[in-house]
Amino acid sequence: MKNPCDDSILPFELLMEILSRLPVKTLMQFVRVCKSWKSLIINDPSFAKLHLNISPKNTHILLTKEDNPYEFENQDSWVVPCSMRCLMEDPSSIIDVEGCYHLKGNHLVIGSCNGLVCLGNFYDVGPIEEFWVQLWNPATHLMSKKSPTFHLSMRTSVDAPRGKVNLGFGYDNSHDTYKVAVVHWDCTEKKMMARVYCMNNICCRKILSDSSSPILLRQIVGNFVGGCVNWLALKNMNDPEYQWDNVTLEQLVIASLDMSKEVYTYMLLPEGVNEVLHFEPDLEVLGNHMCLFHDRSKTHFVVWKMREFGKRESWTRWMSFSYENLGCEGFLYSHVPMFLSEDDNILLLAQTEDLEFVKYI
């Protein structure tokens, strides 16, 4: 049988166009056809971009499971990519674990972008926190090399409480590279510190060192949308150990880090949010839009959508429903928003404790 790679029956550009329209699972089978196809599919950045731009969009999520959820140190975990299409058709179905991937060590998912997942690994070394990151492609199961080890001052002493760190992962379109953002309160200098790590050459740039900068809320991982990583933050705070009962609505802002310019901007919440928030709100990205989730009067769950990123006037109160309809006492601690359909008619929620799904129409 003739090797399909020996003769150019089709022009290379046409072959590339055809292959770029195939699903990832099929492409992974085609890498066995010949070395040139394998090199194109696995190693060619231009093909990866073409496939990303024109292939059908079928959103996936990553479900993770640790060996022992009560022990963070020195444990392995498993990651299962799962198609949202399958969950939308039957949210209560058992997830196929055929694509389950074993991660050695305690990993944290920092974020995902363009089909790549950024994983972080942290270690306490006295008052210093050490960490490194890797990029993982769930479709190919290829993992990048570990980055150099980075160091953060997270404690004033070995016995002092550990400080918190906020992380973000995104793509810098202007420089065609992926970046990791690390924001934390430096316990030694008593300042908010922010660094950006560029993944193509693992360089580090300090972009913020300010004692008056807004303190980021407890949501560790920021949301990447509009070319920016976004977290909720509090103005006029000089200590990261805040008590939510003492926070006022006027202090809440959205801290937005532009991954290309590497500068911070701050956005206001929707004008319609004008009542006491009994629980910390949450930011998520659903359907390529930034969404704000918050409790109302301890009886309802409210969803706001920013239809045009960066413009406060584009905030729209999209949905409000009662906890009673979900059969729970409070939403923010028992459910996680996972998926919003393109027509805005279906919201998929996950119960965090037992991994059940709720489809709200």
The answer to whether the pTM exceeds 0.75 is yes
In sequence order, which residues have a C-beta less than 8 Å from that of residue 308 and are 6 or more positions away? 314
**Predicted confidence band of residue 67 (pLDDT cuts 50, 70, 90):** low
Structure tokens at 335: 């459910």
Read off the pLDDT band of 69 (50, 70, 90).
very low
Contact 232, 216 (CB under 8 A): yes
Give the contacts of 84 (CB within 8 A, at least 6 positions apart). Answer: 58, 59, 60, 61, 338, 339, 348
Q: Where are the domains of the chain?
A: 15-51, 271-361
Quote the percentage of the chain above a pLDDT of 90.
17
For the segment 82-106, the average pLDDT, to the nearest whole number, is 65
Say what the pLDDT of residue 50 is.
83
Q: With beta carbons less than 8 A apart as the criterion, state whether 295 and 303 touch.
A: no
Q: How far apart are CA 356 and CA 361, in angstroms?
A: 17
Q: What is the mean pLDDT of residues 248-271?
A: 92
Say what the pLDDT of residue 66 is: 61
Higher pLDDT, 161 or 210: 210
Please give the pLDDT value at position 309: 94
pLDDT of residue 331: 52
Compute the average pLDDT of residues 197-207: 82
